[in-house]
Amino acid sequence: MLRRRRPMLTGFLLTLALVEVGLPLILFVLRDRMVFLPSRRPTAQEGLGYLRGRADVGLVWVPRRDGRLLAAYDAQPITAGDSGDPVVLFLHGNGGNIAGRAPILEEFVAGTGLRTLMVDYSGYGDNAGAPSEAEAHLDALAAFEWLVAEGVAPGRIVIYGESLGAAIALGVAAERECAAVVVQSGFASLSSMAFEIYPWLPLTGLLSQGSFPSSRRAARLEVPLLITHGTEDRVIPFSQGEKLFAAAGEGAEFLPIAGAGHNDFFAVAGSDYLAMLGRKSRAWTATSMTDR
């Protein structure tokens, strides 16, 4: 009996070792495919057909430094604001593309009263290339630089990051002057998320260390930071927003949205949230321009 048990135990331990080491390695190799979930359709042009006339939304092409072009929506409120009003750079989450978010963008602009640029990442929608952490960072920087080239002072730009876009937003703010950063439904770091999703595969979190280091970037941020998160988020748990806030520097704000999940955030947060965001953005911009 003892002799039989030893081979069984050895086999079990080998299987466990293969799972604990092999599976995390596979997840690491496939990381970009798991993190980025782009859609090719609808196209950016088709997305304009979903609009209801609550904002003036145009399709523009943002050049990267390597010459590739990125599809983006440049959305303006119907009622023109002040020339010194803030401009929002909206960096969306990991799934779909900007066309599928066109109605959300329209409501965002109508609710905040702010011009907003929403850019698609490499490999999303009409864009060439393949998405990755490095490529998405370059895409977001290109969108920021496009706004500056259009005559928008960096001190007037509020960077808004949704979900994965929150990590990308903090990456841009780490390298570019801006008025403020808003992090919606973000995570503390990719490794923190990995430990949360795969607690039984600790090597997955260890292999992800250093990727999308939002907490570290939030701690070093020198401009206003608003962190907002739905209390019922089942994709990126509310605890991730709390961890990010705990790591953020002095002066950061945390705004829980009661009852909001991950994909219904704006529907639950409602018009009051957007109006508040518009007021805060104007206040941040006024402070930023005064400090210059």
Q: What would the pLDDT profile of 84-131 be if each residue is shown by its tens digit?
A: 899 999 999 999 999 999 999 999 999 999 999 999 999 999 999 999
* DSSP code of residue 248: S
Candidate ranges 99-108, 196-205, 279-288; pick with highest mean pLDDT: 99-108
Q: What is the mean pLDDT of residues 250-279?
A: 96
Q: Is 154 buried (19+), middle (13-18) or exposed (0-12) by CB count in 10 A?
A: middle
| pLDDT score for 289 | 58
Percent with pLDDT over 70 in the chain: 78
Lowest mean pLDDT among 153-162, 200-209, 253-262, 271-280: 200-209
- At residue 75, the pLDDT reads 97
Instruction: Determine phi and psi for 11, rounding to 5 degrees.
Output: -65, -40
- The yes-or-no verdict on residue 198 having pLDDT over 90 is no
Considering 192, 233, 281, 288, which one is annotated as catalytic?
233
Is 92 annotated in the active site? Answer: no
For the chain, how many structural domains are there in total? Answer: 1
**What is the domain range of residue 104?**
2-291
Catalytic residue among 122, 163, 185, 192: 163
Residue 277 CA to residue 291 CA, distance in Å, equals 21
Q: What is the pLDDT of residue 251?
A: 85
User: Rounded to an integer, what distance in angstroms lies between the CA atom of residue 115 and that of residue 95?
Assistant: 23
Confidence at residue 204, expressed as pLDDT on a 0 to 100 scale: 44
Q: What is the pLDDT of residues 151-185, one digit of tens each?
A: 999 999 999 999 999 999 999 999 999 999 999 99
In this predicted structure, what is the pLDDT of residue 114?
97
The pLDDT of residue 247 is above 50: yes
The DSSP 8-state label assigned to residue 176 in this structure reads: S
**How far from the centroid of its chain's Cα atoms is residue 277's Cα?**
17
Mean pLDDT of the 65-70 span: 96
Q: What is the CATH number of the domain that holds 122?
A: 3.40.50.1820
Which of 92, 137, 229, 262 is catalytic? The answer is: 262
Beta bridge partners of 227: 183, 254
Q: What is the average pLDDT score of the chain?
A: 85
Alpha carbon distance, N-terminus to C-terminus of the chain:
80
Does the structure show a pLDDT above 90 at 290? no
233 noted as active-site residue: yes
pLDDT score of 259: 97
- Is the pLDDT score of 138 beyond 90? yes
Are 121 and 136 contacting, i.e. CB atoms less than 8 angstroms apart?
yes
203-243 per-position pLDDT tens digit: 444 344 447 889 999 999 999 999 999 999 999 999 999 99
3-state secondary structure of 55: strand
For 31-41, the pLDDT digits (tens) are 556 678 899 99
> Where is pLDDT greater, at 176 or 80?
176
262 labelled catalytic: yes
* Percentage of the chain modeled with pLDDT above 90: 70
The answer to whether residue 7 scores a pLDDT higher than 70 is: no
* Helix 238-247 and helix 190-197, axial crossing angle in degrees, nearest 10: 140
